[in-house]
Every structure is written in structure tokens, then in C-alpha cells.
Structure 1
Amino acid sequence: IILLLSAFETLGFQPSELMGIFAEKVMEDPEFLNLKNLLIVLRVYSRLNYIPRNQKHLFFETLHNCLNKYLPQISNTDLLKAVYSLCILGYLPHRALDELLQKDSRGELLSDDLYKEQKEMMLCHVKACMELDSPSFTKPAFVPTEDFSLLVSLNLRKAREALVELLGDENMFRQNVQLPYNYHIDFEIRMDSDRKKVLPIDAADDNADSSVQRLAFLFIPLSAFCLGTRHPQGKLAMKKRHLNKLGYHVILVLNKKFQEMTNEDAVEFLKGKIYSENAFPFSEVTVQDSN
């Protein structure tokens, strides 16, 4: 069954019923998980963004205890992968994290191998999770941002033109915005507290009023969702969760569908997303229990 789950993960397909049954087995009898299988389970469940319904805490604790058992023998790379997988799901495995950070401070994690860049990216995400997913984290009053580039990719040109037509001016939104924690959003729009009026970016910058609503538009490829669904895979779910923590209402747009719209439909679509108060409630959960 573990090989089967691994194959589904490669396809990006979430077999929720099978994953639920297997999660039950893990919680009932975790002893059967050797280190190799534990790493596969962590990778599969995090990438496919699956947590068993109503048993989130028990599931995480079971996996965490299994991981702790293998800490004396786990390699540095596997430790990083395991912690990264749990962090993607929004769980901080404190003992394993401590071990990981000690190894990082001693310079033992990022050896000069083929995967150094990938490891750096994973470690960066782990550190972001430590801050943003900590119970003590509070929404910042101000988030430092910078416009990455005035050039808009061909992929986003249609969205930019639709926003200009809808809002009347380029100064009513920002594009290609770089945020802390190495996050990036395609377009940012700021609105009044009632989500009735779009504010010029300059005016919103001058106004430190916490009632200003920030909308983050992400134009997403199909591959970021589980196959055949709108269920975000792990990395997208984590990004969405973290943008929420930074004070953004996140609006996911399936880019392929958007590109197929007529210009008129594209404008109407964005209008609906921007002015619909209930379209994306701020408290929306991004790492989803099984559904």
C-alpha cells in the first residue's frame, strides 16, 4: 500500500479514502513503520495535503513520535525532508526541529552536493513555518514588500489588462510583489474594511490603518492542485496559509481557465472575486482535512 501511495503522489492524485484508511492503520499500529516507510508517508501526505478528518492531532503526534524514535540514526538529508514535510502540513515537530537547527548551526546540513539549492529552499520554508505557524505569531501591522519587476510575464498580461479596465488605473493595484519569507504574489489589491472600495496603492501605503483589506491574487497552474480537483497540493496550501497569516485574503485563480475567458468575461470574473465579501473568507482553512 505504501508503494501504491507513492505512485499516486507521483501522479499528484489524492486517493482520499485509501489515505484515510492507511492513516487509521498508522495511528493504531505505528510500529510497522520503518524509517524508509515513514519518510514516504510524510512525503505523500504533505505533498497531497491530506490530514485525516477529526484526528489531526493524533495523526501528527503519531508521526512525530515515530520520527523521534529514528532521530539517533536518521541522516541529515532525511531529517530535513521529514521536518519539511510536517511543516508543510502546519505541524512543528519541536524535538526534530531542534536537532535540525543544531545541525544547521554547525554547518552540517548544506553540503556542496547536487541538491544544495533544493535543501536551502526546504530549510528556508522550515524557518518560515517556525515563525508563521507558531501559536505566538500575530498578524503584523505592516508587511514590507517590494515590486519585483515592472515587467509582467506573458502569462499574466491578460489579468493585468483586465484589472486596468476594471479599476481604471494601474495605480489601483500592484503586480509581481515580493514579500518576506521569499513569498511572491502576482497582484495585490487593497480595499476598505467593507470590501466595497478599492484604494489607490499610494494612499493605502500612507494609511497604516489595520482595517485596510489586502487581496493577493495568485494565478496557479493546474499542477499545483491534486489531480482532477481544486484541492491545493501541500506547497500551495502552505503558501496560502502563510499569506493569510501575513494579513492577505488569498484568491486562487486557475490560470488555464482564466486564459480561455474572453476579455469581457475576464473582467467580470475579477470583479466578482474582488467585490465579493464572502468569496474567500479570511479564516479559510488551507491545509484541509479529508473531504
Structure 2
Amino acid sequence: MTARILGRWAHLLLRCPQASAASSRLQAATAQRAGTPWPLAWARPAAKPLCLGHGLPEEEQPSIKFKLSELDELVKKAGTPEAVLQLWAERGGSANQAGLCLIHISRLALKKDRAESANLLQDPRCVDMLETVNSQISVVWNGMLVSLLHSLSNLGLLPSTPVMQSLQTEALWRLRRLTYRQLAYLADWVSARHSQGQGNEMLSTTLLKQLELRWTELDNPRTLATLMARAGALSSSLMDRLEDKVLELAEKFSAEDIRKVALALSSQRRRSVPVLRALSYHLREKPSSELQAPLLLDMAFAYSKLNFHHTPMLERMSSELLPWLPELSPADVMRWSKALALLKWLHLPLFEGFAQHFMNGSESYSTLQLSNLILSFARLNFQPTNREKFYKKVHEALRGSWLGLEPFLLTDMVWSLCVLQQAVPDYIAAVTDTNFHTKLTEGAASHVVSYKLKLLQIAASRQLEPLGAPGECPPAGTPSAVPVKAGTHTALQRGLHAAVQTLAENRTSALRTNVSTVYGWVIDAELVLDAENKPVDLENLVAPHLPGGGGADLLPQGAHRMAFLAWEFSHFCCKSKDLLGRFAMQKRHLQLAGFLVVEVPYFDWLELKFDWQKVSYLKDKMGHAVAEEMAK
């Protein structure tokens, strides 16, 4: 290092007109020692990045080509762990050769069961290799050092053993000399140990610091994907930098790299929209040969977990999956339908294919898989073309097994069949039984309330639809009405309340807002209009939809009870004006309960800029609802 600095000073002195003879001699001496002409010396960088430590810069490092020894060649050709152990016993070798043998044994041991792998570590020949590595740890190559940590862990060697402790300590001292790819591979091992509660805190902290300091060196997409999946979970700041790198390198990503990055983001709940858009764009450009069914399934799962919608990519994924349908397992069909349902993406040919897949192999579907498939259909309000045959198969598959479902899943399954208007009285009777309600009291309070509301909606199906006896009251033990949270009104709801108040001539007694019903639904606004379309006071009118039943006066002759429902963007299927199953059932139940439903979708309401336009719009909708009722 001193010689290099003196050489550079000599070059500077040579260019100075006041250079002394001594400085000239110094330059000449250093030039002879270095053997490099001064123009080439000036072309060299004056300094190297601090992250490279005390070693030579990469361009100054001698290109050393290691020639494999005869033992190395034989080890690579060995087909069993016993053959490798025998070669070591016969020939012995250095620490690096011992490391090569251990790594190869680990790869071969993956084909064996866990017990056989544990026995390998007890073999005297394997013990000798471990002792050789431990005694000569300082001469083990960097790449070999990191690979040994992985391989020995795969063989079942605990991080607390002397050899593993030596390897970790040596890795800690060499961190600044490791390449970024080796750091990423080491981070993979460290994060796996952390997940098992066996992490080395000092190594982990120092490693993450190095990764954060040197993140600009990262230029390999596969290394980036691995690092995001492993080390990203340990450091939020590192993950921020890695996301920037994804945007830089996204064009070089293979389809498999895109899959890994998407799964890493979903596992850490990082909804980075620019990154997801970039990944979706480049994945969409890939040829069909790279878009295999497992990859598409993982991408759909990642999108659904992050609630990320990319319509062109969803279209491409759905069309690419259609040819694979006959080869999918029931578990794959369940996962696909569930992911698309969470994304509110209804691709009719694909869902028709899901229904046909079940009909072709209903005996291979478990009750859990079938229940999740039905739940997905209900969420999107999807009805198969051949619905009679489909639901016949569903009820046959559920016969004798549906009672064994976990209480919450059983409630979901019966609720879904109610949405699809295919519930069987036996299913409803099972979940509306008072003793069943006590099974739905575990978990978070919001979770319990949500399922109690589903029980109310199931009871409403039994009461209002042809399935059960008309006029039957909701079962005892369920909540009497939907709890409405204060201060949760959307802009659409606030605007609707103001417009309906104008229709009610600003009479508070003629208007109800946020009406909690015994059917498990909330009505945004309620009015009663007499035969002359004038609002009527509600206080004394009978109201069977309210928990208390309302007043004692019957509706006036020719009067109509109006229910206003505000349909938000989230109430519709993606890129569609079709209501999701939950809200389609709400509309159906309220109509069966005697309401004239006035629907106010967001896409119509946003076009109305003035209050008089909103009032006029509601009057038109109300007139249309009354005309339809009169036509019946």
C-alpha cells in the first residue's frame, strides 16, 4: 500500500516544474519496481470503494485459475454419500477439499430421509472432515465458507456446534471481502436460522449493515429476488432499497424471478404499487411457454393478498390458465377460484371451467375444497350454465360430511348457498340452532360480530325466500340488528342522505338513515310515500324490519316503503357493473321484505355535480321503482 501511494506522489512531482532531482529518482525507482509505464498508472483509479475492504480492487486482483485435483473430480462423480466418505478416507485432503466433500454429501443426502442424514454426521470419516475444516478455517475460500453453512445445516448440524460457530465467526470477520452475491446467500442462511430461533445476532446485524451499505453493487435479478424473499423481512430500510433495485432491473427479470419477488412482497404485506406494476408489465410480455400453471397460481395468490388489480395481467393469466384446467388438481382449482374471488375478478369461461372440473371429478374434491369453491362462486354471484346438474353434484358431495366442518367454515358454506339460492333446509336448521351460536364466540370481536351477521342473513333467507315457512322469525340468540359504527359514512352516503332529506321536505320524522334491520342488512335511507308520492311520518307506522317492530299504525292505502342503497366501487365485480353476491342478496332480501329498492351506484352519482341534479335523479329512480311495482 505504501509503495503504491509513493508511486502516485512521484507521478505528481514529475508533472510539477519545480520537481527536485530526488523526486525524479524516487519516481524512477518506483517505476522500476512497479513495472508499469506512467500513462497506464494514471489510467488506474486513484482510490477504490471503501466497501471492498483492505483487499485489491476487483480489476487489480490477479486472475487465479484453480485446477481441480483428482480428488475433486472423483468427489463430483460420486453418486452416494458413502462413496464420498470412502474417497476421503483413502485420500484425505485440505480444508477446501473437505468442504467440497461435505457440500456434495449434503446434496446427495437430500434424497435420503432425515434419520439417515443424521447418521452421516456420526460417521468417523465425516467427523474427520469437520475437524479438518475447523482446524484450517482461515484458508477456506469465501464461497466455500458460505456454502458450508447451508450444507451443514441441511445435514442437521446445529449452529451451536464448534464447527458451525467457527464458520459463523470467520464469516463475520470476512463480511467486507465477500461479494454481494455471497452476502445474499449468507443472508438466506441467516434468515432461515432466525425463523427457527437460532440466529446469530452479531452476524445478522453486521450482515444487514453491509447489505444496506453496498446495495448499489446488486446487479443480478436472481440474487435480488432471493434477497427480497429472505433478508428483506429482517430490515425494512433494506427492503426499500431492494424495491428501488427491482424497478431498475425489472426488464432483466425472468418469469421465475418475477414470481419470487411478488411472493416476497405478499409475504411481507408490502403493497408497493410501482413495483407491482413493473412486474406485471414485464410478466405480461413473457411468452406463453414461461407462464406455467404453478407460476400463474402464485402470482394470483400474491395479487389477492396485496389486493392489487392489474386488468391486462389478470386477463392474460385467466386466458393462459384455460388450457391447463384439465391438469389442475382440486386444490389448485380451490386456490385459483379463491384468489380471483378476493380480487373480485369474474372471468366467465374460467369459472365455467372450474364448475366443469368439479362435475368431472367431484369424488376427488374434499369437503373443505368444495366449500371454498362454493364460497368463491357466492362472492362473485356466479351461477354456472348447467346449474341444476352442478348443484345436484354439490349436495351429493356434501351429504354425510358437511356436519364435520369447523363452525366458522360451516357458516360460510351455508351463507354462500343462501347467496346462490341453493341452501337446503337441513343446512340452515343446523346453523340457526341456538346451541350452534355458542361455537361462534371465539376469536376477535369483529370476527365474531361478522359471523353473527351472517347468521342473521341466513335466517332472513329462511324467513323471506321460498325455502322456509313465510313469516318465521329469526332464531333466538342472534343479534337483533346490525351494529352501525358512527362516523363511517362515505362521501356517497353523505350526499345521498342530504338529497333524501330534501325529498323528505326536511322533516326528520319522515326519514330514517342508517337503518339497522333484523335481516342483517343496513339500509342507507328509508322513506314511506303515500298514494300521492308525499312523504309520511314514520314514527307511528308498523316496521317489521326493525328490532322493536315500529309503531302500531298500518301503512296508508297505496303507500310504498322505499329503501335507498348506496352502491360503492367495492360493491361491484372488477371492471363490471355486476353486484357482488353479498349485495345482490341484500337487494333481494329487502325486496322480499316489502321495500321498493332505489339503487344509487357510484358511477351514476359521480356524474351529478349539483344538488338539484341529485334530487332529480332520486325522483326518477323512485318513479321507476313505483312503476315497476305497479306493473307487477
Q: 2:526 aligns with which of 188, 193, 199?
A: 188
Q: Deviations over 1:81-123 (max 9, x none)?
A: 2112112222222333344456x51666224233433332332
1:150 Cα offset (Å): 11
Q: Give me the identity figure in percent.
A: 22
Alignment check: 8 A CA contact 1:176 1:187 kept:
yes
2:470 is matched with which residue: 137, 145, 148? 137
Assess, with a 3 A threshold, how the Cα gap between structure 1 residues 89 and 50 changes in structure 2: closer, same or farther: same
Judge conservation of contact 1:150–1:175 (CA < 8 Å) in 2.
no
Partner of 1:82: 413
Which protein is richer in helix relative to its size? 2
Q: Which amino acid aligns with 1:273?
A: K
SS in structure 2 at match of 1:180:
coil
Task: Return 201-210 or 166-175, whichever deviates more.
Answer: 201-210
Q: Which residue of 2 aligns with 1:243?
A: 590
Which consecutive segments of 4 or more residues in structure 1 shift more than 6 A? 148-152
Cα distance in 1, alignment partners of residues 631 and 584 from structure 2: 14
Q: Rate the CA distance shift 1:172–1:221 in 2: closer, same or farther, 3 A.
A: same
Matching residue of 2:439: 109
2:600 maps to 1:253: yes
What does 1:1-291 align with in structure 2 at a 5 Å threshold? 2=333, 3-53=335-385, 55-71=386-402, 73-101=404-432, 105=435, 109-114=439-444, 115-133=447-465, 134-137=467-470, 153=489, 155=491, 156-166=493-503, 168-170=505-507, 171-192=509-530, 197-202=533-538, 205=541, 206-209=553-556, 211-255=558-602, 257-259=604-606, 261-263=608-610, 264-277=612-625
The structure that is strand-richer by fraction is 1
Deviation per CA, 1:207-229: give whole Å up to 9, x if none: 53464222211112111111111
Task: Tell me if structure 1 keeps the 8 A contact 2:431–2:437.
Answer: no
- Contact 1:158–1:259 (CA<8 Å) still a contact in 2? no
Change over 3 Å in CA distance of 1:275–1:107 after alignment to 2:
closer
Retained in 1: the 8 A contact 2:381–2:420? yes
Greater displacement, 32-41 / 9-18: 32-41
| Bigger relative contact order, structure 1 or 2 (CA pairs below 8 A, ≥6 apart) | 1
Query: Which protein has the larger Cα radius of gyration, Structure 1 or Structure 2?
Result: 2
TM-aligned CA deviation for residue 204 of structure 1: 8.7
Distance 1:113 1:207, change over 3 A: closer
Inter-CA distance 278–131: structure 2 relative to 1 (3 Å threshold): closer
**More displaced 10-residue stretch of structure 1: 13-22 or 215-224:** 13-22
- Give me the whole-angstrom Cα distance separating, in 1, the residues matched to 2:558 and 2:457: 29
Helix, strand or coil: the match of 1:214? strand
Alpha-carbon distance between aligned partners in 1 of 2:485 and 2:403, rounded to the nearest angstrom:
46
Residues of 2 paired with 1:60 and 1:279: CA distance?
35
CA, structure 1 residues 272+16, in 2 after alignment: closer, same or farther (shift >3 Å)? same
Q: Which residue number in structure 1 is paired with residue 160 of structure 2? A: none
Q: How far is 1:128 from its partner? A: 2.4
Q: How many residues align?
A: 276
Structure 1 residue 274, shift from structure 2 partner: 1.4
85-94 or 113-122, which moves further after superposition?
Answer: 113-122
Q: TM-score, normalised by structure 2?
A: 0.39
